[in-house]
Amino acid sequence: MGDPKGFMSTPRQEWPRRPVEERARDWDEVYVPGALLPIISKQADRCMDCGIPFCHDACPLGNLIPEWNDLVSREDWRAASERLHATNNFPEFTGRLCPAPCEAGCVLAINQPAVTIKNVECAIADRAWAEGFVPARPPERLSGKTVAVIGSGPTGLAAAQQLTRAGHTVAVFEKDDRIGGLMRYGIPEFKMEKRHLERRIEQMRAEGTKFRTSMTVGRDVGAAELRGRYDAVVVATGATAWRELPVPGRELNGIHQAMQYLPLANRVCEGDLEVSPLSAAGKHVVIVGGGDTGADCLGTAVREGAASVTQLDIYAQPGGERDEDTEPWPTYPKIYRLSAAHEEARDLRTAPAADADARLFAASTLHFTGDDSGRVRSLHLVEVDEMRRPVPGTGRALPADLVLLALGFSGPDQEDGLIGQLGLTLEARGTIARDDGFATNVPGVFAAGDAARGQSLIVWAIAEGRAVAAAVDRYLMGGSRLPAPVSPRDRPMRV
Ligand SMILES: Cc1cc2nc3c(=O)[nH]c(=O)nc-3n(C[C@H](O)[C@H](O)[C@H](O)COP(=O)(O)OP(=O)(O)OC[C@H]3O[C@@H](n4cnc5c(N)ncnc54)[C@H](O)[C@@H]3O)c2cc1C
Ligand code: SF4
């Protein structure tokens, strides 16, 4: 601990975001470039190095947070990078995208603002790349065993990197034309610039991982054939089967799923398209769904120049403080959070009729109405109580010529035939069934990440990727020294 009184003398300070008017006009990350490094050592000093660091348990990766806080406060960036990479393959991803359950579990957060753990993580990762502390680490010898990883999201990438470094010959099969899963086609550029992804992929290539893009397993290559060609298979295909909104008028033109809309905006940023065919420019946009995917649609629609954007949340507006009875420290509480996209919408007044920023809370969609050409023009909603019963007299209509459905995902997409061809058993909720060792019902086939856990977070995906790699290594070699930070039954901390 650099300064034992740091938590008393230094207030919490986060990586500042660029002014709303500036960042809403471009797709670059929302943060002020270069503004994190000058403040971060003092922020790391706020860590109390408490006896039992609950942040460890709250982070699914078990990141060694107090250790690297101490190293950053002493500006030993090389050692900090080593400690961070000991538990996290991709800290520049989590440092930007993680909702940081570790901060909710920080002991300082019992009565003060938590240490800015996520910012410290990001600073270490960025500094490590800038200083060349992240070289490729190819294996010293090969095992002679081969592994096919299906899916190149954070789960597949973490599994592939761990298995390659353990000496196995690994090929990653990806149905999209580029590597990255939802981090590539889903998460917008303003949350994480894709150059961070490219740099890791280059590192993995240099270590020996092979990538096969535009290859849908089940269609371009048979899943059973792949099982026959490789010693083990990891299914890390994500959970992209989206939930529907079966209300009258759903068939009208102009109503799309969030994951039909967001990847097109990603493709504009990649340079594949000049303009998105679903661009929100000049349109009244309503986003149905109050979660993070909806917030990503919001930030995207703002940047595309929507005439108005409103986000509907079926839940009541949460308070600003945790409820100590139902969600006590160190759990991750449901409180009112203002994401960068919500801040933009609030300051630019994109939804004048909203309860807060761009959001209308306790709002349930009843139906859509359209014009003579079959295009959506209005969304009709009603306020609901906590049992989701309509509150009489609260019906109203919002102008809507682009509606985006962001209602979550139910499990893996089954259209490609992979699950049927391998004969994989599913859980009742549609995810791939596996035992405590990540093994499916088919010998040599393992499942990890959103495909098996259900819709989750990048930090869980990386943790699952690391853990499934340990399981595969054990299956191939009879034992493994690879770390397994989570088991399939682990869940976020709750009361
Ligand atoms: C819009 C959006 C924003 C999000 N934002 C955040 C965030 O800010 N922070 C956070 O922590 N989490 C976020 N999440 C959740 C997070 O992205 C996921 O939990 C995570 O990506 C899951 O990783 P995965 O590797 O299991 O699956 P995915 O990332 O979904 O990757 C699965 C990959 O498998 C490929 N695939 C599927 N079937 C086949 C096949 N048959 N053959 C070959 N390839 C196949 C897919 O094309 C895809 O590339 C977000 C999710 C969405 C939808
Ligand atoms: S990965 Fe997420 S939970 Fe873990 S230390 Fe980083 S920000 Fe915290």
pTM for the full predicted model: 0.98
In a domain, 123, yes or no: yes
In a domain, 188, yes or no: yes
Tell whether 270 and 380 lie within a shared domain. yes
- Whole-number Å distance between alpha carbons of 346 and 341: 9
In a domain, 306, yes or no: yes
Last-in-domain residue among 131, 157, 183: 131
Domain with 38, as residue range(s), is 6-131
Identify the pLDDT of residue 352. Answer: 86
Are the CB atoms for 255 and 369 separated by under 8 Å?
no
Tell whether 320 and 398 lie within a shared domain. yes
Q: Is the CB of 101 under 6 A from ligand 2?
A: yes
Tell whether 214 and 299 lie within a shared domain. no
In a domain, 10, yes or no: yes
Ligand 2: nearest atom to the Cα of 58? 3
In a domain, 400, yes or no: yes
Name residues contacting ligand 1 (CB within 6 A): 97-98, 150-156, 173-176, 181-182, 186-187, 191, 216-218, 236-238, 240, 262, 292-293, 296, 416, 418, 449-451, 456-459, 461
Question: HSE on the CB side for 395, CA within 13 Å?
Answer: 7
Identify the pLDDT of residue 21. Answer: 97
- Residue of the CA atom closest to atom 4 of ligand 2: 59
Ligand 1: nearest atom to the Cα of 94? 11
- Whole-number Å distance between alpha carbons of 74 and 83: 14
CATH of the domain at 264: 3.50.50.60
CATH of the domain at 30: 1.10.1060.10
Identify the pLDDT of residue 494. Answer: 83
Tell whether 378 and 273 lie within a shared domain. yes
Tell whether 255 and 362 lie within a shared domain. yes
In a domain, 491, yes or no: no
Tell whether 336 and 280 lie within a shared domain. yes
Last-in-domain residue among 131, 157, 192: 131
Tell whether 392 and 278 lie within a shared domain. yes
Identify the pLDDT of residue 409. Answer: 95
Identify the pLDDT of residue 459. Answer: 98
Identify the pLDDT of residue 127. Answer: 98
Number of domains in the chain: 3
C-alpha to C-alpha distances, 194 to 29, 162, 439, nearest whole angstrom: 10, 22, 32
Identify the pLDDT of residue 414. Answer: 93
Identify the pLDDT of residue 46. Answer: 97
In a domain, 252, yes or no: yes
Q: Copy the structure tokens of residue 154.
A: 């954070």
Ligand 1: nearest atom to the Cα of 154? 25
Identify the pLDDT of residue 264. Answer: 98
- Residue of the CA atom closest to atom 48 of ligand 1: 181
Identify the pLDDT of residue 217. Answer: 98
Q: Return per-residue pLDDT of the chain as tens, 495 residues.
A: 678 899 999 999 999 999 999 999 999 999 999 999 999 999 999 999 998 999 999 999 999 999 999 999 999 999 999 999 999 999 999 999 999 999 999 999 999 999 999 999 999 999 999 999 999 999 999 999 999 999 999 999 999 999 999 999 999 999 999 999 999 999 999 999 999 999 999 999 999 999 999 999 999 999 999 999 999 999 999 999 999 999 999 999 999 999 999 999 999 999 999 999 999 999 999 999 999 999 999 999 999 999 999 999 999 999 999 999 999 999 999 999 999 999 999 999 999 889 889 999 999 999 999 999 999 999 999 999 999 999 999 999 999 999 999 999 999 999 999 999 999 999 999 999 999 999 999 999 999 999 999 999 999 999 999 999 999 999 999 999 999 999 999 999 888
Place of tokens 């650099």: 2
Q: Which amino acid is at 194?
A: K
Last-in-domain residue among 388, 405, 422: 405
Q: How many other C-beta atoms can be found within 10 angstroms of the C-beta atom of residue 195?
A: 10
Tell whether 301 and 167 lie within a shared domain. no
Are the CB atoms for 474 and 231 separated by under 8 Å?
no
Are the CB atoms for 257 and 190 separated by under 8 Å?
no
Tell whether 195 and 303 lie within a shared domain. no
Distance 59 CA to ligand 2 centre (A): 5
- Whole-number Å distance between alpha carbons of 468 and 234: 8
Tell whether 284 and 381 lie within a shared domain. yes
Instruction: Pick the closest to residue 241 from 366, 411, 86, 361 (CA basis).
Output: 411
Tell whether 419 and 448 lie within a shared domain. yes
| 3-state SS string for the chain | CCCCCHHHHCCCCCCCECCHHHHCCCCCCCECCCCCHHHHHHHHCCCCCCCCCHHHHHCCCCCCHHHHHHHHHCCCHHHHHHHHHCCCCCHHHHHHHCCCHHHHCCHHHHCCCCCCHHHHHHHHHHHHHHHCCCCCCCCCCCCCCEEEEECCCHHHHHHHHHHHHCCCEEEEECCCCCCCHHHCCCCCCCCCCCHHHHHHHHHHHHHCCEEECCCCECCCECHHHHHHHCCEEEECCCCCEECCCCCCCCCCECEEEHHHHHHHHHHHHHCCCCCCCCCCCCCEEEEECCCHHHHHHHHHHHHHCCCEEEEECCCCCCCCCCCCCCCCCCCCCCCCCCCHHHHHHHHCCCCCCCCECCEECCEEEEEEEECCCCEEEEEEEEEECCCCCECCCCCEEEECCEEEECCCEEECCCCCCHHHHHCCCECCCCCECCCCCCECCCCCEEECCHHHHCCCCHHHHHHHHHHHHHHHHHHHHCCCCCCCCCCCCCCCCCC
Tell whether 352 and 445 lie within a shared domain. no
In a domain, 484, yes or no: no
